[in-house]
Amino acid sequence: GLFSCPNFQIAKSAAEELKNETWEYSSSVISFVNGQFLGDALDLQKWAHEVWDIVDIKPSALYDALTEDFSAKFLRDTKHDFVFLDICIDSSPIGRLIFELYCDVCPKTCKNFQVLCTGKAGFSQRGIRLHYKNSIFHRIVQNGWIQGGDIVYGKGDNGESIYGPTFEGN
């Protein structure tokens, strides 16, 4: 099953390394040296100057562009689908969650999630709007995880899929 999947093991190892840390990072450029967090592009330039006496006069906008290009290529090369949810607290936008979908492992579940993120399915036969927009996270575990997806009542004990009230399989 998934427990033997290399991607699961990588994610599990990353979660174990973070322990109870919470990361929020505002720059689009993040630098690590020998596995240790360094900072943004300016921190990398300072480090290179201090350690190697290298003076980098390239503008930070160049690093932003390189980061965007690398990120886009990295996402394309995974051959996976990606979807996002824009998150708000009390109607104030706080950020975007991006999900990598392993459609090769569980295609039916991924298709359901993807369509519910976009709202392309419209309404179910029971008249339920098939969209995560304005749905809530009904469970938040501090330094853990979030749960949502009950697009019917938002309590976590009901829901609807694009396949009907329930569906089986991957």
pTM value is 0.65
SS3 132: coil
> In terms of pLDDT, which residue wins out, 169 or 98?
98
Cα–Cα distance list, 112 to 45, 59, 94, 142, 162 (Å): 44, 43, 25, 27, 6
Distance CA 59, CA 51 (A): 20
Domain boundaries, the chain: 25-77, 81-148
Q: Between β-strands 137-140 and 31-33, what pairing exists: parallel, antiparallel or unpaired?
A: unpaired
Q: pLDDT, tens digit, for every residue of 8-64?
A: 555 556 556 656 565 677 777 788 888 888 888 889 889 999 999 998 888 878 888
Kindly indicate the confidence band of residue 7, based on its pLDDT and cuts at 50, 70 and 90.
low
Token pair in block for residue 55: 């003076």
- What is 81-148's CATH superfamily? Cyclophilin-like (2.40.100.10)
